[in-house]
Chain A
Amino acid sequence: MKPPPFDYLAPSSLEEALDVLAEKGGEAKLLAGGQSLVPVLNFRLAQPALLVDLNRIAELDYIDVDEAGAVRIGAMTRQRALERDPRIAASAPLLAETMPLIAHPQIRNRGTIGGSLAHADPAGELPVAAVALDGEIVLRGRRGERTVAAADFFVGLMTTAMTEDEMLCELRLPATPKRTGWSFREIARRHGDYAHAGVAARMTLADDGTIARARLVYLSAGEVPLSATAATGVLDGGAPCEELFAEAASTARGEVDPSDDIHATAEFKKHLAEVLTRRALAAAWERARAAQR
């Protein structure tokens, strides 16, 4: 179908965009890559009076990595740019591993990191990766700037902590601790489709080889990216081995809360989550050990 009529503005600076938001916040919708918003408009599931196109705001398109390895990514950075950037592969390898799982190249050429985070689809990979990486999201509005932990940013189904006069401007990722391994695993019917189940795993080893801190975050396991804290409680302080990973995976199976859909039952998705958790933990451990050497 065709989108309903709307007015359109394409500000060329962040300041200009924030002015428009301050004035028209309630009736305006921000257009980033458009890979989720435009289908919603084409289906007429939303009828905003005004679209504010952010694609002309060059100052929101950047990747910065400091000497310590902390990463700052501008909201309008294309997913494809993150996929190809060697600094992301070096400093945020979990994010690099996530990118090819997101839809198809044609979508990633347009899709942005900020748009995907703001859209807050629980089936999306980027919200999961942002939480797993202890990311922080920078919001700006005419009333000022604030930073929200990714874990607190997603508050419900496609709902975030952002107010209507605020704009998501940046994702910050702290430097990866030493002896840290990672893995993003998902199972989809076809490469690039929405996954039945998926997990981002991270594991930091202590000097004695035990697990100092583990992170397990799931997609399509509830209304927001789901952190399996009982499962990571099993792992933290433990000596990594297949049996421990199996116990954590079985615990995680009890924490995820997927829904039935036409392709798979919730029970099957829980099974997939358990299997993927075991595999992701084994891969993360392998990488953490390699990083130790």
Chain B
Amino acid sequence: MSRHSVSTEVNGRLYEREVDARLLLSDFLRHELGLTGTHVGCEHGVCGACTVLLDGEPVRSCLIFAVQADGRKLATVEGLASSPDELHPLQQAFRDAHGLQCGFCTAGILMTMVPFLEENPAPTETQVREALSGNLCRCTGYQHIVDAVLLAAERRA
């Protein structure tokens, strides 16, 4: 099994590690870097809990190897808010609209919907539901999540 050096920028900070080829990016973030905000659900690309941004685009971190992130930029939920005392506007909307219960899926949903709102600043409810279709939530029935995303869009307007 080959080992590889990885140099990657996560939330603006540079990390360098030596990893096994088979190490998933999700496990790299959690176990090598201690960034446990990214959650791991199904580990086969269905639940969306591990969604992070790779060079600005949302991807499943359980379907990429850490070695593939060499030289790339990553963003995780830890980097959304500008300081530990603040929430990102979408996080604030989730809080205000009761968009989470257990919170397991929330990081993945935030990392999916932040770039979605950048691309679609005034989405319809149908667009929001389609954009959420790649993220499973087993608590909320999605209604409050949809409300939260629409609330965040409304506040941006």
Binding site for B on A (CB under 8 A): 1-8, 10, 34-35, 38-39, 41-43, 51, 53, 55, 80, 103-107, 109-110, 190-193
Please determine whether B1 and A190 come into contact, CB atoms closer than 8 angstroms. Answer: no
Please determine whether A39 and B68 come into contact, CB atoms closer than 8 angstroms. Answer: no
Q: Among B21, B27, B43, B112, which residue has its beta carbon within 8 angstroms of that of A105? A: B112
Q: C-beta contact mask, B1-12 vs A, less than 8 Å → 1, else 0?
A: 110100000000
Q: Is the interface of B mostly helix, strand, loop or mixed?
A: mixed
- Given A39-B44, A42-B44, A106-B48, A51 and B133 contact (CB-CB distance below 8 Å): no
- Given A38-B45, A42-B44, A191 and B64 contact (CB-CB distance below 8 Å): no
Q: With A and B bound together, what is the CA distance between A3 and B22 in angstroms?
A: 6
Q: C-beta contact mask, B58-69 vs A, less than 8 Å → 1, else 0?
A: 111011110110
- B106, CB-defined interface residue at 8 Å: no
Please determine whether B60 and A5 come into contact, CB atoms closer than 8 angstroms. Answer: no
Q: Is the interface of A mostly helix, strand, loop or mixed?
A: loop
Please determine whether B64 and A38 come into contact, CB atoms closer than 8 angstroms. Answer: yes
- Given A6-B22, A7-B1, A35 and B134 contact (CB-CB distance below 8 Å): no
Q: How far is the CB of B130 from chain A (nearest CB, A)?
A: 5
Q: Among B22, B48, B65, which residue has its beta carbon within 8 angstroms of that of A104? A: B48
Can you name the residue of chain B whose Cβ is closest to the Cβ of A193?
A: B133
18 contacts across the A-B interface (CB closer than 8 A):
A4-B22, A6-B1, A6-B22, A7-B1, A34-B63, A42-B44, A42-B62, A51-B21, A105-B131, A105-B134, A106-B51, A106-B112, A107-B134, A190-B133, A191-B130, A191-B133, A192-B134, A193-B133
Q: Among A1, A6, A35, A105, which residue has its beta carbon within 8 angstroms of that of B58? A: A105
Q: With A and B bound together, what is the CA distance between A42 and B45 in angstroms?
A: 10
Q: With A and B bound together, what is the CA distance between A55 and B55 in angstroms?
A: 14
Q: With A and B bound together, what is the CA distance between A106 and B4 in angstroms?
A: 26
Q: How far is the CB of B50 from chain A (nearest CB, A)?
A: 10
Q: With A and B bound together, what is the CA distance between A192 and B136 in angstroms?
A: 12
Which residues on A sit within 8 Å (CB–CB) of B48?
104, 106
